[in-house]
Amino acid sequence: MIPPKDKPVVRLTGHDGNAFAVMGTVRKALKRAGADTEYVDKYFREATAGDYNTLLAVTMDYVDVE
């Protein structure tokens, strides 16, 4: 599992707040920052393990949110 070199910055305000849109935006940011598929899959497993608040908390662990 290869994490990104640097924690990517993702802007979520002003965008679609749909859970799938959030995860898609984070997936793209993680890939651009150098994360491998295994690392992105780990994000998805954790982000979908609970409700919307869990999604946001996990997202903030993996990326810096603006």
Q: In this structure, which amino acid lies at residue 23?
A: M
8 and 63 in contact (C-beta within 8 Å)?
Answer: yes
Q: What is the pLDDT of residues 4-62, one digit of tens each?
A: 999 999 998 877 789 999 999 999 999 999 999 999 999 999 999 999 999 999 999 99
DSSP one-letter string for 1-54: ----SSPPEE--TTS---HHHHHHHHHHHHHHTT--HHHHHHHHHHHTSS-HHH
Q: What is the pLDDT of residue 18?
A: 92
- Can you tell me which residue has the tokens 């919307």? 52
Q: What is the pLDDT of residue 40?
A: 98
CA dist 22 and 10 (Å) reads 10
